[in-house]
Amino acid sequence: MPIRPFEQHTPRIHPTAFIDETAVVIGDVEIGEDSSVWPSCVIRGDIQSIRVGARTSIQDGTIIHVTHDSRFCPGGQPTRIGNDVTVGHKVILHACTVEDHCLIGMGAIVMDKAVVSTRVTIGAGSVVPSGKVLESGYLYVGSPVRQVRPLNPRELEFLEYSAENYQRLKERHRWMLRSATVTSDPIMPGLELPPATPKARIRRSANPKRG
Q: Is residue 64 part of a domain?
A: yes
At residue 207, the pLDDT reads: 53
Cα–chain center distance at 39: 13
The whole-angstrom distance between residue 75's C-alpha and the CA centroid of its chain comes to 24
User: Which percentage of the chain shows pLDDT scores above 70?
Assistant: 84
The answer for residues whose C-beta is within 8 angstroms of residue 31's C-beta and 6 or more apart is 11, 12, 13, 14, 17, 19, 25, 37, 43, 52
Structural domain includes residue 19: yes
DSSP symbol at 8: T
Residue 144 is part of which domain span?
3-150
pLDDT digits (tens, 9 = 90+) for 83-112: 999 999 999 999 999 999 999 999 999 999
- Whole-structure pTM value: 0.85
For the cut 60, the answer to whether the pLDDT of residue 187 exceeds it is no
Flag whether 67 is in a domain.
yes
Instruction: Give me the CATH number covering residue 70.
Output: 2.160.10.10
End-to-end CA distance of the chain: 38
Length of the chain: 211
Return the CA Rg of the chain.
18
**Number of domain units in the chain:** 1
* pLDDT bucket at 194, cuts 50 / 70 / 90: low
Residue 7 belongs to a domain: yes
Whole-angstrom CA distances from 22 to 18, 115, 161 are 12, 29, 26
In a domain, 174, yes or no: no
Is residue 101 situated within a structural domain?
yes
Mention every residue, 6+ apart, whose C-beta is less than 8 A from residue 5.
Answer: 11, 26, 27
Phi-psi region of 61 (alpha: psi -120 to 50; beta: other; left: phi over 0): left
Query: Cα separation of 87 and 60, whole Å?
Result: 9
Concatenated DSSP letters for 108-173?
Answer: -EE-TT-EE-SS-EE-TT-EE-TT-EEPTTEEEETTTTEEEEEPPHHHHHHHHHHHHHHHHHHHHH
Percent of the chain with pLDDT over 90: 81
